[in-house]
Amino acid sequence: MMRHQTPTPEDLCAIVIGHVDYSEHDRIVRLLSAEHGLISAMARGALRPKNKTFSHSLDIGNRIRISINRSKTPGALWKLKEASLEKACHRARQSLFKTALLTYCCEVISMLAQPENEEPKLFALLSKVIEQLNAAGEGFGDRYRIAVELKSLAFCGLTPTLRRCVACTEPLEDNYRFYKVEGGIFHNKCLPKRAQVLSPQRSELDDLLGVEISEAWRQAALLTLYSPLEQSIGINMPPGPKWLFSEMIEQYRQRQIRSKNFLLSLEKL
């Protein structure tokens, strides 16, 4: 005789990286967990004022303990049964800049993490970012954001080639350029071949000509990639392309990082 089986919920720790409110009372949350990478889940009743099941824990940057049922079909919404706060992200959210940086880091990592597949390194990285944004004062410096971009790329197997020329693998001294599509540096004598474009758009020029970077910038990027994240707090990069790795991520995913504009608008204040 067939019996209807209720699926056993799984208990795990996750970080809220985004959400969309759905109907009057429900919220769809995007979560990152070490065990399952990216998960999208329905939290029924999360927006009801007296809701106790999710204890108002479903906000960006919160680290939560959850009880969840996976979906039967890959890519479909999982069902969030319960959630409680493990570590709130209140302090970071009191600062506009930290809120922007947090949202940006969540989006970058969500663009690179695999859905429904383990992502222990990206999970550990985002946990650290959230901890640091909640602990340290203001003045994070642009090297911190670049460190998050570089480490996220490295953890999903897309480490930019910064030590040697992508084409000839010889060391780099000077006269080189960075190409976002190839994700690395080429000697000027080894530049990748591109199809001819008669009148390229501005956005296509970087791809055709590469991006000029200085030796000081390259060394700083290498240091940023290989040193612990906390060593980049409050430090600025030498003059150079501020959004190079961010654009590399956009190039890879073929879409814009939406929260970048929020950060950019604050830089202009």
Closest to Zn ion by CB, 63 or 218: 218
Smaller CB distance to Zn ion: residue 93 or 187?
187
- Told to check if 167 binds Zn ion by CB under 5 A, we report yes
165 makes contact with Zn ion (CB under 5 A): yes
Query: What is the Cα gyration radius of the chain?
Result: 21
Q: Binding Zn ion by CB under 5 A: which of 96, 168, 197, 205?
A: 168
Q: Mark the segment that binds Zn ion (CB under 5 A) among 59-67, 160-168, 240-248, 251-259.
A: 160-168
Residue 16 or 165: which CB sits closer to Zn ion?
A: 165
CA dist 266 to 25, 101, 142, 260, Å? 32, 10, 13, 10
Judged by CB under 5 A, the residue of 136, 154, 190, 223 near Zn ion is: 190
CA-based torsion, 173, 174, 175, 179: positive or negative: positive
Q: How far is the CB of 172 from Zn ion (least distance, A)?
A: 8
| Candidate segments 8-16, 122-130, 148-156, 162-170, binder of Zn ion by CB under 5 A | 162-170
Structure tokens at 161: 């080639």
The pairing of beta strand 78-87 with beta strand 37-43: parallel
Among the residues of the chain, which ranges form H helices?
A: 90-93, 96-112, 120-135, 142-155, 202-209, 215-226, 244-253, 260-267
Interface positions with Zn ion (CB under 5 A): 165, 167-168, 187, 190
